A and B are shown apart, each in its own frame.
Chain A
Amino acid sequence: MTGSVTVRRQKVRRPRRRYKLACLLMLAAALLLALLFIERLCPYDPNAQVFAALEPPSAAHPAGTDRLGRDLLSRILIGLRTSVLSSLALVVVTAAAGSAAGVLSGYFGGLADSLLMRIADVCLAFPGLVLGLAVAALLGGGLHNAMLALAVVSWPKYARVARSQTLALLRTDHMAAARLAGGSAPQLILRHILPNCAGPLLVTAMLDIGAMMMELAGLSFLGLGAMPPTAELGSMMSGGRSLLQLYPWVVIGPGIAIFAAVAFFNLLGDAARDWLDPQNSGGK
């Protein structure tokens, strides 16, 4: 391989990567907008138990009906909104809180830093879903409690990334110059540290959306998340084992919906990572 070939390839590839991310982001925005007005798109009222129970997919009910005679497509759409919006909210709040904790403890160091990191260690000493189960058991079921449980599990990840980025930044000449120029702590943190560690944090968060969606659905599946009659994809599938043999669409429809949502956000996360760190791209 000669030098000129490599250079040319980089020139061609880099913008393509950026377009991919931009396209996916625009698609995500469109999807979010659609989810906000999803009620208008539902063919029927998702909670109306007016149809024959357990009807197979047909023209009138593209995804069939469920055990209580509700239109499954409408419920899947509403469930998609519940899953996507709650996991987005979860990731945004957790990432913000975890990053803030990490940046502050990295910047100020000392007792607060070691205390915070020990708390993070303890949160990491429990396997994720097990701690989630414990918190959910403690607080009782419900979507909000399940989200809280997952937040407890996932904040240390952001705190660690933010802290290590901050520590690395503090050693740079750029930070020394900013400090010599008389910047105050809030100024240094907001102007110089946060923008510089936003990339890795953003990528971590975007890679996390799909995972959080799966875990949230998992807790709902176990009966520890969204409570009926709220349509949620995980809880819609929880009675599935007894129905699988004769009425597989009741399980497979919501399953495909959650898979599609998770896959989309995983693609988005991968594109974001490739954009930030071309070295690590999948094709290599």
Chain B
Amino acid sequence: MRGMFSRRGDGRRRGAAGMKGYVLRRLAQLVLILFVITFLSFGMMRLAGSDAVLQKMERTGIAASQQVIDAARAELGLDKPFLAQYVSWLGGLLHGDMGVSYVTGRQVFPTFTAKLPATLLLTAVSILLTVVISIPLGILAAVRQNRLTDRLIRAASFFGSSMPGFFVAFLLMYLFSVRLGWLPVLSRSASLQSVLLPALTLAIAMSSRYLRQVRATVLDELSRDYVTGAAARGVKFSVTLWKSVLRACLVTVLTLLTLSIGSLLGGTAIVESIFLWDGVGRLAVDAISMRDYPMIQAYVMWMAVIYVCINLITDLSYRFLDPRIRLGGGRE
């Protein structure tokens, strides 16, 4: 939906210019945007960070003199000029040093990386579920166009896309944990059982949006000449469907995944705090409520970095998947 009018990736119009040049250009862009991301996330948090010392003092209840405050600021390096702070912070960043949490006093970067696998597992499982739900149902809806099955699937997709993630989470929790008692209410460890509900929550929101697009893609493909041609040559409909149409669906889903990876990464914050999933999203929400700026900074920055990198990878990979893009022809 989001990409209806604005298509990302200016590479679509090119193609003959050569894959290598394109990749190099995109990598150069990546480096530039990474600099901007680090600078901005640093700047944003430093703008707020100056009162972190005051906040800390307030919390401990000490009526601090200006001297003590200045000393604390110097300890955190908040007294140096802005650019000097940025450069030293960037230098530290390259060594995996993102400062110390204001709350726990522990190193931010190891804390963050320790929680990252749980979030990645959650996103991976929800992407998998999304693909497993949206492609077969989308194809089914298209093949049975305007019949009861199609209408039911479309209604379900409309319902799913109008529900906020946290409501879906509560409904799933109520149904599967409270009523049926199949799955644990809280996920203490990252087991297969406990990843299912949070991942399903994320997957329901995504696949409801994808279903429509997959359905539209399949309808579009089925109306093409090659499908008629294949039928005329006596190729079985199921063979055409699974060999040619499925490929088009994969491209659609991949494009949609690129567009929604952002909401997925953000959505984990909500879902993780509901299901008490021990990932970076929950870490960030806790950090925000405690105003733990180094932690928030790490979260925002790394999420942005992951996001940009995934965008680049998918952009490149669907040029491989769909020859029309690679050869410079438009999809429209």
Contact = CB atoms under 8 A, between A and B. Distances in A.
**Bind each other:** yes
Contacts of A5: none
A229 interface: no
Interface residues of B, number: 60
Contacts of B174: 244, 248, 251-252
B288 A127 contact: no
A217 B167 CA distance: 10
Given A122-B36, A129-B270, A131-B300, 8 more contacts: A127-B261, A214-B164, A217-B166, A222-B270, A224-B288, A251-B174, A252-B171, A259-B164
Contacts of B166: 217-218, 221, 234, 237, 240
Please name the 7 residue pairs, one residue from A and one from B, whose CB atoms are nearest each other, closest first.
A129-B266, A127-B262, A263-B162, A255-B167, A160-B6, A127-B265, A214-B164
Contacts of B287: 137
A284 B219 CA distance: 9
B45 interface: yes
Contacts of A135: 44
B107 interface: no
A57 interface: no
B22 interface: no
A225 interface: no
Contact of A200 (B5, B264, B284): B5
27 contacts: A121-B33, A122-B37, A125-B308, A127-B262, A127-B266, A129-B269, A130-B269, A130-B284, A130-B303, A130-B304, A134-B300, A136-B288, A157-B6, A160-B6, A161-B5, A204-B4, A218-B166, A222-B285, A241-B274, A244-B174, A248-B178, A255-B164, A259-B164, A263-B159, A263-B162, A266-B158, A284-B145
A165 to B, nearest CB: 8
A258 B164 contact: yes
Interface string B166-188: 11001101100010000001000
Given A133-B269, A255-B167, A283-B146, A164 B262 contact: no
B212 A282 contact: yes
Contacts of A251: 170, 174
A137 B304 contact: no
B263 interface: yes
Interface of A: 121-122, 125-138, 157, 160-161, 164, 200, 204, 207, 210, 214, 217-218, 221-224, 234, 237, 240-241, 244-245, 248, 251-252, 255, 258-259, 262-263, 266, 282-284
Contacts of A240: 166, 170
Interface of B: 1-2, 4-6, 33, 36-37, 40-41, 44-45, 47-48, 145-146, 154, 158-159, 161-167, 170-171, 173-174, 178, 185, 212, 216, 219, 261-267, 269-270, 273-274, 284-285, 287-289, 291, 293, 296, 299-300, 303-304, 307-308
- Chain B interface SS verdict (over half): helix
B216 to A, nearest CB: 7
B266 A122 contact: no
Contacts of B267: 129
A229 B145 CA distance: 49
Most chain B beta-carbon contacts within 10 A, residue among A164, A222, A240, A259: A222
Nearest to A121: B33
Nearest to B310: A127
Contacts of B270: 129, 218, 221-222
A236 to B, nearest CB: 11
Most chain A beta-carbon contacts within 10 A, residue among B41, B174, B287: B174
Contacts of A138: 44-45, 47-48
Contact of B33 (A122, A134, A161, A221): A122
B127 to A, nearest CB: 15
A133 B266 contact: yes
A259 B162 CA distance: 6
A134 B301 CA distance: 10
B270 to A, nearest CB: 5
Given A122-B36, A218-B270, A259-B163, A130 B171 contact: no
Contacts of B300: 126, 130-131, 133-134
A160 B5 contact: yes
A116 B159 CA distance: 37
